[in-house]
Amino acid sequence: MSFHMVEARDVEKRIRQLDILKGIDFHVDRGEVVSLIEPSGSGKSTFLRCINHLTKINGGYLAVDGEAVGYRCEGNKLYELSDSEIAIDRASIGMVFQRFNLFGHMTALQNIIEGPVHVKHEPVADAKERARQLLDWVGLAHKEDSYPSELSSGQQQRVAIARALAMQPADAVR
């Protein structure tokens, strides 16, 4: 059976009395590249945070590769997963944050290997090898020992992209 890579049906998110997302229907197919372009404050970042359950939805359904995000389905009911189960699911979803969230006390290389080594328990040597390949791919092989404060905003963004890809999310395009 073929699923959309990302599927949202009637997704809602409220904060207090304010509707942030209301009735969002959206899908991205495998291999498709999509841009969300809307005015500031329209809910783009909130929606992206909902995709990997960093922000919980108040209604509707969100799935990645056919699996509900943050929930398991039993019949017509959704049950929220435990934090550890959600963390396992997140490991297959790559995300680059708007503010990149690089660790300031770590070099570019260290930022990239942090997840694979500490979340996926990969050997450091393997994680470093892949990180160096990714840094080369984003044009920053010469910046592996640079700290975020020594990088431009665009370079920080590319390190964040390499960091997301280092986790080997499902169907990553490289």
CB of 45 closer than 8 Å to CB of 62: no
pLDDT at 84: 85
Confidence of residue 41 (pLDDT cuts 50, 70, 90): confident
* pLDDT tens digits, 43-55: 888 898 898 888 9
Least reliable range by pLDDT among 70-79, 122-131, 150-159: 70-79
Calculate ∠ Cα 133-135-136, nearest 5°.
65
Torsion of CA 142, 143, 144, 148, to 10 degrees: 180
Asked whether residue 174 carries a pLDDT value surpassing 60, the answer given is no
Asked whether residue 136 carries a pLDDT value surpassing 80, the answer given is yes
* pLDDT tens digits, 105-131: 999 999 999 999 998 899 999 999 999
DSSP structural state of residue 94? -
Superfamily of domain 6-90: P-loop containing nucleotide triphosphate hydrolases (3.40.50.300)
Asked whether residue 91 carries a pLDDT value surpassing 80, the answer given is no
Confidence of residue 14 (pLDDT cuts 50, 70, 90): very high
| Structure token digits, residue 38 | 């809307």
The two beta strands, 18-28 and 6-15, are: antiparallel
Average pLDDT score over the chain: 88
CA atoms within 13 A on the CB side of 102: 29
Domains of the chain by residue range: 6-90, 108-166
